[in-house]
Homo-oligomer: A and B are copies of this chain.
Amino acid sequence: MTAPIYHRVALIGLGLIASSMSHAMRAKGLAGEIVGHAKSPETRATALELGLCDHVYATAAEAVKGADLVVLAVPVGAMAAVAAEVAPHLAPGCTVTDVGSVKQAVIEMVAPHLPDGTCFIPGHPMAGTEYSGPRSGFATLFVNRWWLLTPIDGTPPAAILRLQSLLEGMGAKVNSMDAAHHDQVLAVVSHTPHLIAYTMVGVADHLAQVSNSEVIEYSASGFRDFTRIAASDPTMWRDVFLTNKDAVLDILGRFAEELFVLQRAIRMGDGEHLFDYFTRTRAIRRGIIEAGQDTSAPDFGRSAPPPPSS
């Protein structure tokens, strides 16, 4: 156990990310006290039952009082309202961070509300599962995963370093970048792939000549991974696409072009083009395994342990 890095952490929103943070902070003694707020009474009761929070509050405004770290862990679309609500109640010197998957829009929504003497350090933990809710969290969710920060000019370096200590204490690797660049990177590595997976699953759902039960039964190969991606939280993803619109539309446009070129190669029977393309993409995969971002296990996760939820 190390000394707590924050004395009182207020988790606003108690879903997968916040509940995992609580487990991780408790496991490492990183927070003196953890309090929280969720809109739903059931979620608040669950948070107490699981020991995620020492106290829960019916409003975000109450929850943030006296906290030296406030974590906004609500869907991106709810950030503006939550920031406006908590702003008058923030303790002087308090750090506010968020865990949204989009950063420019969150900065626009949150920063204007916060009073002088507090600071907002936008953050994005690049970790998740297809599950959501307070029971879905586990202490190791962030281990060896990136937690990107997109600090605003003028933020005291000491406040950033303190937050970084907390995130690293939970096992995350921390990096900082410009918010606009973050949103472009995420459009490529996460947002557009999710939209495509949703689309492919939707196509399968609409087919008349192949039944849904066949799709489900024979999903072993590529489709199974798509459904895993496409099972993520609908609210979160709706907000991602609405708030990172420009970057996602840019990547989608490129994707459509590229797909049409491959589609044409299939139609024309151009095997050489297909082979060369598929050989190039294999090299990127090797890079990801070498970068330690995935296991090289060949079984597509079949032997993974059962989920931690009760």
Contact = CB atoms under 8 A, between A and B. Distances in A.
Interface of A: 77, 126-131, 136, 138, 145-146, 148, 181, 184-186, 188-207, 209-210, 212, 214-232, 234-235, 237-239, 241-242, 245, 248-249, 251-252, 254-256, 258-260, 262-263, 266-267, 269, 271, 274-275, 277-282, 284-288, 291, 293-308
Given A245-B267, A259-B199, A219 B304 contact: no
Contact of A238 (B194, B204, B271, B305): B271
Most buried by B among A193, A256, A271: A193
A200 B192 contact: yes
A281 B230 contact: yes
30 contacts: A146-B220, A184-B209, A186-B218, A188-B203, A189-B214, A190-B222, A190-B223, A196-B196, A201-B284, A203-B258, A204-B284, A205-B281, A206-B258, A212-B287, A217-B293, A219-B293, A225-B226, A227-B288, A228-B294, A230-B284, A234-B282, A237-B274, A242-B274, A245-B266, A249-B263, A297-B304, A297-B305, A299-B301, A300-B301, A301-B301
A1 to B, nearest CB: 26
A228 B186 CA distance: 18
A193 B220 contact: no
B271 A189 contact: no
A293 to B, nearest CB: 5
A39 B221 CA distance: 27
Contact of A274 (B241, B299, B307): B241
Given A130-B298, A204-B284, A231-B285, 13 more contacts: A126-B218, A184-B210, A185-B218, A188-B204, A189-B220, A198-B278, A199-B262, A224-B293, A224-B294, A227-B281, A234-B278, A234-B282, A256-B259
Contacts of A198: 262, 277-278, 281
A278 to B, nearest CB: 4
Nearest to A285: B231
Contacts of A189: 204, 214-215, 218-223
Given A188-B207, A216-B287, A221 B126 contact: yes
A221 B128 contact: yes
B216 A225 contact: no
A107 to B, nearest CB: 19
Nearest to A197: B222
A226 B262 contact: no
Nearest to A265: B241
A217 to B, nearest CB: 6
A192 B210 CA distance: 14
A87 to B, nearest CB: 25
A305 B221 CA distance: 19
A248 B267 CA distance: 10
Contacts of A221: 126, 128, 186, 189-190, 193-194
A200 B286 CA distance: 16
B242 A222 contact: no
